[in-house]
């Protein structure tokens, strides 16, 4: 596997892209992972939602059970990185960690907050408008700009199969409101809302004097392997998957600013509360929230583009097993995708499913423990 060179990494975001992210609250970035890797991970979702977890570790949340849940229900697994190396190699990617830190201007680097394994089958319903900060950023001190979401398409996503849509510029609404978004982890509309899925965003806009007709909603078509980077405070959701055959699978990665601390004015809630190391403790445990990228011995004054970097033991273990590449390496040629693709044979067995073959090789690499000792 080749690695992103420092010079290439520093040129990741153009001035126009940065301005667009600040203005709209989101930006589309192409070629984040290869189409082959995306198809293999999408295929792997069948095992994950059937409860077949390669690491033997259950995720933090698992919504949708075969034989119990409706076939057309929206499916979600939270923190699949703990359960599958196929998810972990993307969620813990140093290249994505750098991309987030560079876009948000996090001098200390980034760490994983959580991932979301998302599957909207053909005919499934919508996802109510919400802000990710209600689940994530609000759990931490210095909550502003403390997280960012990277939504990676594992199928082509467009209006017909329920692509993500945004209330453009709504990440600035919170600054216009003396209170907050009005959401919390227990009241968020993520798992649907009656009527128009955008109603929670309209309600939030009304609280600061913006009328619903003046709220611009924009649906984002995302090609397979590309990703949306969006602000923690931007209102977003999705309509029904109205297509008769097409699925809409995605992997959402929520990265945190590396130096965040748990809030202490009240106990963190949602899944974050279970990882507080004791009443009133504010430190964020490395084992549960791995560093994905940070400059070595980073301080708030240092630039994120300075030479060496560090990452968690979880990421190092994946690197030792050849499942992820370090951000910096000796290879001069840049990858076509931000996250280097998993290495694979040039020759596939005749008639075999390439995605299945790639997935089998990836999981086999994980199980070859003795080769990594």
316-322 average pLDDT score = 87
H/E stretch holding 118: strand 110-120
Predicted local confidence at residue 212, as pLDDT: 95
Angle at 288 between CA 105 and CA 115, to 5 degrees: 65
Predicted local confidence at residue 348, as pLDDT: 52
Residue 325: pLDDT band (50, 70, 90) is confident
**CATH T-level fold of 6-343:** Jelly Rolls (2.60.120)
Predicted local confidence at residue 351, as pLDDT: 60
pLDDT of 96-151, one tens digit each?
A: 999 999 999 999 999 999 999 999 999 999 999 999 999 999 999 999 999 999 99
Predicted local confidence at residue 60, as pLDDT: 97
Judge whether residue 268 has pLDDT over 80: yes
Predicted local confidence at residue 313, as pLDDT: 85
Predicted local confidence at residue 174, as pLDDT: 87
pLDDT of 151-179, one tens digit each?
A: 999 999 999 999 999 999 999 998 876 44
What is the rounded radius of gyration, in angstroms, for the C-alpha atoms of the chain?
20
Judge whether residue 289 has pLDDT over 70: yes
The percent of residues in the chain predicted with pLDDT above 90, rounded, is 73
pLDDT of 341-353, one tens digit each?
A: 987 544 455 566 8
Predicted local confidence at residue 319, as pLDDT: 86
Predicted local confidence at residue 98, as pLDDT: 94
Predicted local confidence at residue 74, as pLDDT: 96
Predicted local confidence at residue 347, as pLDDT: 46
Mean pLDDT estimate for the chain: 87
Predicted local confidence at residue 1, as pLDDT: 33
Predicted local confidence at residue 369, as pLDDT: 61
Which span out of 179-183, 336-340, 366-370 was modeled with the highest average pLDDT?
336-340
Predicted local confidence at residue 178, as pLDDT: 41
Q: Which string of b and e fits 206-222 if b means at least 16 CB within 10 Å?
A: eeeebeeeebebeebeb
pLDDT of 42-57, one tens digit each?
A: 999 999 999 999 999 9
Give the burial class of 1: count Cβ atoms within 10 A of its Cβ; 0-12 exposed, 13-18 middle, 19 or more buried. Answer: middle
User: What proportions of the chain, in percent to the nearest 5, are helix, strand and coil?
Assistant: 30, 20, 50
Of 191-200, 201-210, 348-357, the one with minimum mean pLDDT is: 348-357
Judge whether residue 304 has pLDDT over 50: no
Judge whether residue 180 has pLDDT over 60: no
Predicted local confidence at residue 20, as pLDDT: 98
- pTM for this one? 0.91
Q: Higher-confidence residue: 326 or 346?
A: 326
Judge whether residue 95 has pLDDT over 60: yes
Domain boundaries, the chain: 6-343
- Angle (deg, nearest 10), helices 35-49 and 354-367: 70
CB 294 within 8 A of CB 63: no
Judge whether residue 372 has pLDDT over 90: no
Strand spans (E) along 170-310? 217-219, 227-231, 236-238, 248-257, 261-262, 291-295, 309-310
Q: What are phi and psi of 114, to 5 degrees?
A: -165, 165
């Amino acid at each position: 596997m080749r690695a992103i060179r420092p010079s290439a990494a520093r040129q990741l975001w153009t001035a126009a892209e940065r301005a667009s992210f600040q203005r709209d609250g989101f930006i589309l970035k192409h070629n984040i992972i290869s189409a082959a890797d995306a198809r293999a991970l999408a295929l792997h979702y069948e095992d994950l939602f059937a409860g077949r977890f390669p690491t033997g570790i259950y995720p933090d949340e698992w919504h949708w059970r075969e034989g119990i849940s409706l076939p057309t229900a929206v499916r979600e697994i939270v923190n699949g990185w703990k359960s599958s190396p196929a998810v972990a190699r993307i969620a813990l990617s140093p290249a994505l960690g750098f991309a987030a830190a560079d876009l948000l201007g996090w001098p200390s680097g980034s760490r994983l907050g959580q991932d979301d394994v998302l599957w909207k089958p053909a005919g499934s319903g919508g996802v109510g408008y919400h802000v990710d900060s209600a689940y994530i950023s609000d759990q931490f001190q210095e909550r502003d700009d403390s997280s960012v979401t990277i939504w990676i398409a594992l199928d082509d996503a467009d209006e017909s199969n329920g692509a993500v849509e945004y209330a453009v510029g709504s990440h600035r609404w919170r600054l216009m409101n003396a209170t907050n978004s009005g959401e919390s982890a227990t009241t968020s509309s993520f798992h649907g809302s009656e009527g128009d899925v955008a109603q929670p965003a309209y309600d939030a806009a009304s609280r600061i004097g913006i009328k619903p007709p003046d709220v611009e909603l924009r649906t984002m078509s995302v090609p397979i392997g590309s990703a949306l980077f969006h602000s923690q405070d931007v209102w977003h959701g999705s309509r029904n998957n109205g297509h008769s055959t097409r699925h809409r699978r995605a992997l959402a990665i929520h990265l945190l600013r590396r130096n965040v601390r748990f809030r202490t004015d009240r106990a963190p809630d949602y899944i974050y509360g279970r990882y507080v190391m004791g009443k009133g403790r504010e430190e964020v445990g490395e084992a549960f929230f791995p560093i994905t990228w940070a400059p070595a011995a980073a301080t708030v004054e240092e630039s994120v583009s300075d030479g060496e970097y560090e990452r968690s033991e979880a990421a190092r273990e994946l690197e030792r097993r050849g499942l992820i590449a370090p951000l910096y390496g000796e290879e001069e040629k840049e990858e076509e995708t931000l996250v280097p693709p998993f290495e694979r044979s040039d020759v596939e067995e005749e008639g075999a499913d390439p995605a299945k073959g790639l997935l089998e090789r990836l999981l086999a690499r994980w199980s070859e423990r003795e080769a990594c000792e």
